[in-house]
Chain A
Amino acid sequence: MFYGLSGVRHNSYVSDSKLFPVPADRNAVVFFLLLGLAAPYLVSSLYLNSYILPWLIWTAAVLGLNLVTGWAGQLHLGYAAVMAVGAYSAVHAAKFGIPWEFALLIGGLASSVIGSLFAFAALRTKGLYLALTTLAMQFVMDWVLTHSPTIAGGSHASLQSPTFALLGQDITSDAGLYYVAFGWCVLVTIFMLNLRRTGLGRALVAVREKDFAAAILGVNSFYYKLVAFAASSFIAGVSGAILVSTFYFLAAPEQFAVNVSIQVLAMVIVGGLGSILGSYLGAALILLMPGVVNQLFSLGANLLGLDLGIETLAHIPNAAYGALIVIFLMVEPLGLGKLYANVRDYLMVWPFDQLKK
């Protein structure tokens, strides 16, 4: 219906490998892009900077993890640690007087280097053992952060981020900070959209499906694992740096603790492995869910006249968060992205879908 394929003819390979073969997809993307650009004029700055801005940055981070987990199939339980490397090195670089453009780059590259260490674990192990190694590395990184005052910033264990600036202009307004996050998220999205169409992306998928089989086909699986880890760590590092400089405004070790790693992985799973739209939806669901559940429960308790203790209310969002992961894996293991794809596939041929059966 919306995705009418009639009249869409591809006469050359170039047109067949277009980013959006279906015009409706392209129109939707353009629409949301415009919506994103206009957001500061549509949404109050409270919502803009406390919901939309972190959502966009987390989406960029989730896309990075999706690159290594969804595309290359390598489990990564230490993603927050890699983000921490980027955040801390960028903030330290900026404090040192380096302009933010380069500080972000330094953060990303530092993350890439440390993140590639994770890839050397991937050389020897995979699956469960890789997950455990990356988890252990996350704990090592937590330990380093909390035990080295020079990195974490003295007695309070928090590091103030200098004012964000691009091209010599200080960015302090709400809309300005939002556009920084928006720009980064769009950049990462464009990269990930195009990754599918490149040899690199296809090689990563081959490695994911079976690395031995990929090796037999002449795909150097270790090289591509390394590339996947390095690229995803770069995205993680810059996202971490932008998160600290435009949202938290100070860096603290607990912002990048092990539960954050699990949270990002949960966003990937809930959104759908290897799905770009899913990354947006998964991040939104996981970020919004605790507040919504809390509201619902206090509302429900008020209606029923129950007196829920503060402690109970504090732990219910956690329980709901766990339940969300479990339910998604039980009902639709490929996540929200797959749910959308199902609807799209159905509408694609509607009302002629009976021909398919």
Chain B
Amino acid sequence: MDLVFLAELTVNGALTGLLYSLFAIGLVLIYKSSSVPNLAQGALTMLGAYVVLAFSHNMGLPLWVAIPLAVVIMFFVGIGIEKVALRRLAGRPVIMILMMTMGIDIFLRGTTLAIWGGSSRSVDLGVSYEPLFVGDMLLSRIHIVGASVALALFVAFFLFFRSRLGIRLRAISDDYMASWSVGISVERGVGLSWGLASIVAVATGVIWGEIQGVDQSLSILLLKGLTVAVLGGLDSIIGAIVAGIILGILESVGSFYLDEIVGGGSRDLIVAAVLILTVMIRPHGLFGRHDIERV
């Protein structure tokens, strides 16, 4: 086992991990503001990619027009989902909220596939598939692009949460009641976070669609995204980034060693193990807030 290969596995793992972070940021945004675990994020990602495709391939618009248009549409889709479905469930037991997002996930996936069909298509971002040589390591260009998008989004949200609007969202995530009493519109804030998460879903959908083709498998990212979000702490964006890198490296290096022992396919096993261990040992994750429950 030479070091260059190990380094290549590590770096590629970290880059893939940052792509998981991209997905997880969407989950974190919604959980942070409304404590709703959004299991529909996978379907939103898929829908985002399909909407981009609908503009660019079916209507022939260039990508730099199609993506912003999709961002605008998905922003309102996100707000709409919150307003129609999630708002009236506020204060209900978590099982109903979970089931609601799961129902939305099934519904969006079914509708998307019924409209556009399930055959895999590519986005054609124009990023070359030629690997990039860094020293002796081979790196995938699209992964680097995706990782930079993830980091850029992180910086953007970092700045956003220091703006006036962002501070409102932080206040909402701190305490509903207190925010209401000082005149912050909690409903609007939660809706906004759904809109932002849907924008993140477009970015995730485009990058992952470029990597593995736009089809139903985009929604299967959910388990990995959830694992990253939980490992990082469900309400921490920096946590999502760090946890993404950790999970990516664990997955790529770990599966290299494990695959020989168990005969392939150990990636999912590692992800599930990380999720179980995180919840068992440190449920609030690496950077999450530890909530104290009152009787």
Contacts and interface: CB of A to CB of B under 8 A. Distances in A.
A319 B115 CA distance: 11
A133 B276 contact: yes
A97 interface: no
A266 B280 contact: no
B273 A210 contact: no
Nearest to B107: A322
A333 B89 contact: yes
A212 B293 CA distance: 9
14 contacts: A124-B279, A131-B98, A140-B269, A147-B265, A309-B117, A315-B114, A316-B110, A318-B114, A319-B109, A321-B110, A322-B106, A322-B109, A322-B111, A326-B104
Contacts of A140: 269, 272-273, 276
A333 B91 CA distance: 12
B118 A133 contact: no
A46 interface: no
Interface in A127-174: 127-129, 131-133, 135-137, 139-140, 143, 146-147
Given A124-B283, A133-B279, A311-B118, A269 B99 contact: yes
Instruction: Point out which of B103, B109, B293 has the most chain A C-beta atoms below 10 A from its C-beta.
Output: B103
A127 B263 contact: no
Instruction: Point out which of B93, B99, B113, B117 has the most chain A C-beta atoms below 10 A from its C-beta.
Output: B99
A330 interface: yes
A146 B264 CA distance: 11
Interface in A297-327: 309, 311-312, 315-326
A75 B293 contact: no
Given A69-B95, A329-B96, A124 B113 contact: no
Nearest to B92: A333
A143 B295 contact: no
Interface string A117-129: 0000100110111
A216 interface: yes
Contacts of B118: 311, 315
A135 B113 contact: no
Contacts of B98: 75, 128, 131
A192 interface: no
B85 interface: yes
A273 B98 CA distance: 14
Given A128-B98, A133-B276, A322-B108, A330 B114 contact: no
A133 B281 CA distance: 12
User: Interface size for chain B: under 10, 10 to 19, 20 to 34, or 35 or more residues?
Assistant: 35 or more
Nearest to A324: B103
Contacts of A333: 89, 92, 96
A203 interface: no
Interface in B114-157: 114-115, 117-118
B95 A319 contact: no
Contacts of A277: none
B102 interface: yes
A93 interface: no
B110 A121 contact: no
A121 B96 contact: no
B131 to A, nearest CB: 30
A243 B84 CA distance: 38
Contacts of B273: 136, 140
Nearest to A216: B295
A56 interface: no
Contacts of B109: 318-319, 322
Name the prevailing secondary structure of the A interface residues.
Answer: helix
Name the prevailing secondary structure of the B interface residues.
Answer: helix
A5 interface: no
B77 interface: no
Contacts of B94: 75, 127-128, 131
A319 B272 contact: no
Given A269-B99, A326-B85, A143 B230 contact: no
B279 A329 contact: no
Contacts of B85: 326, 329-330
Interface in A212-245: 212-213, 216
Contacts of A312: 114-115, 117
B44 interface: no
A124 B276 contact: no
Nearest to B234: A128
B111 A319 contact: yes
A132 B230 CA distance: 9
A318 to B, nearest CB: 3
Contacts of B113: 311, 315, 318
B84 to A, nearest CB: 8
B235 interface: no
A75 B276 CA distance: 15
Interface string B225-238: 01100100000000
B223 A321 contact: no
A133 B269 contact: no
Contacts of B264: 147
A271 to B, nearest CB: 12
Contacts of B102: 262, 265-266, 325
Given A325-B103, A325-B106, A269 B96 contact: yes
Contacts of B275: 132-133, 135-136
A136 B230 CA distance: 12
Nearest to B106: A322
A136 B95 contact: no
Contact of A124 (B92, B103, B269, B280): B280
Instruction: Point out which of A124, A318, A324 has the most chain B C-beta atoms below 10 A from its C-beta.
Output: A318
B26 interface: no
Nearest to A140: B272
B217 to A, nearest CB: 14
